[in-house]
Structure 1
Amino acid sequence: MNRDRFSINQMTVKQLPLPELVAHCVRLGVRGIGLWREPVLAYGVEAAAALVRDAGLTVTTLCRGGFFTAGPTTAATLDDNRAAIDEAAALGTDTLVLVSGGLAPGSRDLPAARALIAEAIAALAPYAGERGVRLAIEPLHPMYAADRCAVSTLDQALEIAERFPAEQVGVVVDTYHVWWDDRAPAAVARAGAEGRLHSFQLADWTTPLPAGVLNGRGQLGDGAIDLAAWCELAAAAGYTGPVEVELFNDELWARDGVEVLEETLKRFEAIVES
C-alpha cells in the first residue's frame, strides 16, 4: 500500500474549494478523491467531473445516497437516490456510499428500519447496476442508530447486501465506525471473499467525543484505533482499491486546509508503511 492508493475525502478538508483541493492533490501526487453530493452539486456535476478528469484524478466514491427510513419508501426518496447514482456515473466513480437512515419517525423498531432500507435498495440496485455504479452500504457506529443509520455492524450490512449481486451492492469498511466490533474482522474477510468490499476508509477514534458527536473523527494516529492492523486486515481480505481518509473534525476544519491535507498524507504514509 502506498501513496498511489491514498484518497482524500472531500469532507476532510471541506474548507478547500474543489478547484484548490484538486490542484493541491496534483501537486502532492495524490491520485484519488472522494466527493460529496452537496459541494459537487453547488459546483456543477459536469464541471466537477471535467475538473477532476482533466487533472488526472480518480473519484473513488461519491457520498451519499440513502436516508431511506423517513417512512414507507417514497417516490421522492427513490428519485433522489437515482439522481445520486446518475451523479456518481457522471463523475466516473463506480461507488455510491449509502448512509441508510435511522429509526422511522415515532418508531423504536430497528429491524423494521432495516427492512425499509433493504426494500429501498431492492428498488435501486438494478438501476445502479445498469449504470455501472455499486451501492456501498456503510454501517455506522451504534451511537448513530436512532437518527442516521440503523445498520450498525458489517454483519448487518452484509445481510442486506447479500440479497443482491455483488456488482450491485456491497459494503464500506470505515474504521471509525467498526473498530469496536470483535466480529468485524471476520466480516471484512467475508466481504472480501464475496467481492463486496467496495470501499475502505480510515479515521481514528479520539476521546473525549465532542458535543454533538458527529464531528469527532480523529486525525490518523491521534486515537485508539490500530489503523495499520486494519489496513493489513483489508489487504488480507483481498482489497487492493483506494484507501480514503474521511474526517469530520471541527478543529481540522478551523485550520488551513492545505496544511491539513499535507498532514493527513504524511500520517497515512506513516501508518501504511509502519
Structure 2
Amino acid sequence: MSNNSTDEPTRDRLAIHTITTKAWPLEVALERYAAAGIGGVSIWVEAIEGMSATAASRAVQASGLQVPALVRGGFFCDSDSRVREQRIDHNRTLIETAAELSAEMLVLVVGATPGESLDRQRGWVQDGIEALIDDAKAANVRLAIEPLHPMYAADKSCINRLTEAREICESIRQPILGIAVDVYHVWWDPNLQREIQLIGANEALFAFHLCDWRVPTRDLLNDRALMGDGCIDIKGFRHMMDAAGFAGWNEVEIFSDEHWSRDQQTFLDEIIDRYARC
C-alpha cells in the first residue's frame, strides 16, 4: 500500500449503516458519525421505529449527514397474491419515508418463500418492482436490488447473483432501478468482474456495501468482519467498482454480535482506520 496520502479514500465518500453500530440510537449515531467527519448515513428502518419520518428527517438535517439509502424494502415473495399486494403497498410507504429522509435510494432485499421455484419467485420480484416504478419516479427515490449470498436463497432472497439482478434491471429498463453490490454477498461469484462491468455500462451500479467474510465464520448472519479481518480482497473489489464507473458512497454495513457488544466509539474508530487501509 502506498504511503502517499492522496491514495487514501476521503471520508466524504464514507457512509455507515445504522445497523453497524446497532447499540446506538439514531440521534447518537448521527452525532458520532458527523463528529468523525463521515459524510453519510444509511438508515435502517429499525433505527427509526417509534419516530415519525419528519422527526427522523430533522435529526438527519441537523447532523449535516447525507443519506445514501433507506434500508430495507422488498420482500415481494409470497404464495398468496393478496400478501404480495400488501407488501407492494408497504414498499410504497417506504418510498415516501425515503423521500422525506432525502435518501437517494431504497434498498430492496427481495425475499423468498420456501417450496416455490426460484424462477417463479423472480417473476414476482419483477412484478413487484414494476408496480413501484411510478412511485419511485414521483418521489425521486432510486430502487436498488441487493442480491444476497446463496445461503439465503431458501427464505430471504431468490436473487443471489449479480446476473439475476442485472437481468431484472435490463428487463424493466428504468434509470431509477439499479443494483446494490454488497461484498459479503457476491465476493465468491466467478463472474464478478464481468458482471460489475456490465452493470456499470448500464449505469446501474447504485450502491457499494463493505465488510469482510470471517474465516471461519461462526454465524451465517451476525458474524461479519471488519474490512481486512477476512478473506475478501476489499481493495481489488473497490478498483473493480471504480473501473466500472462507480462514483457513489462506500457504505460500511457490518452485522456482528461480537462488534455490537463492544464499545461502539472504539468500533467506529476502527472502521474509519480500516476504511483508509483496506
TM-score category of the 2 structures, normalised to the smaller one: over 0.9
Contact conserved, 2:114 with 2:154, CA < 8 A, in 1?
Answer: no
Contact conserved, 1:36 with 1:63, CA < 8 A, in 2?
Answer: yes
TM-aligned CA deviation for residue 208 of structure 1: 2.1
Determine the structure 1 residue equivalent to 2:243.
Answer: 236
Determine the structure 1 residue equivalent to 2:96.
Answer: 86
Show structure 1 runs of 4+ deviating over 3 A.
none
Q: Which of these residues, 81, 86, 91, is aligned with residue 76 of structure 1? A: 86
Determine the structure 1 residue equivalent to 2:176.
Answer: 168
Structure 1 residues 243-252 or 30-39, which shifts more?
30-39
SS at match of 2:208: strand
TM-aligned CA deviation for residue 163 of structure 1: 2.1
Distance in 1, matches of 2:78 and 2:140, equals 27
Distance in 1, matches of 2:204 and 2:270, equals 31
TM-score (normalizing by structure 1): 0.94
Contact conserved, 1:166 with 1:195, CA < 8 A, in 2?
Answer: no
Query: Considering only aligned residues, what root-mean-square deviation do their CA atoms show, in Å?
Result: 1.2
TM-aligned CA deviation for residue 123 of structure 1: 0.8
Q: Which of these residues, 26, 49, 52, is aligned with residue 57 of structure 2? A: 49
SS at match of 1:190: helix
1:187-198 equivalences in 2 (<5 Å):
187-198=195-206
Query: Whose RCO is larger (CA < 8 A, sep 6+)?
Result: 1
The reply on whether 1:227 has 2:242 as its aligned counterpart is no
Determine the structure 1 residue equivalent to 2:5.
Answer: none
SS at match of 1:136: strand
SS at match of 2:218: coil
Contact conserved, 1:15 with 1:253, CA < 8 A, in 2?
Answer: yes
Cα-to-partner distance string for 1:130-161 (whole Å, 9 max, x where unaligned)? 21111100000000000100100001001011
The reply on whether 1:270 has 2:270 as its aligned counterpart is no
Distance in 2, matches of 1:99 and 1:114, equals 12
Determine the structure 2 residue equivalent to 1:6.
Answer: 14
Contact conserved, 1:166 with 1:194, CA < 8 A, in 2?
Answer: no
SS at match of 1:217: coil
Determine the structure 1 residue equivalent to 2:115.
Answer: 106
SS at match of 2:59: helix
User: CA 1:99–1:129 in 2, change beyond 3 Å: closer, same or farther?
Assistant: same
Cα-to-partner distance string for 1:15-54 (whole Å, 9 max, x where unaligned)? 0111111111121111100101122132331111111112
Q: Which of these residues, 241, 244, 247, is aligned with residue 254 of structure 2? A: 247
TM-aligned CA deviation for residue 196 of structure 1: 0.6
Identity %: 39
TM-score (normalizing by structure 2): 0.93
SS at match of 1:38: helix
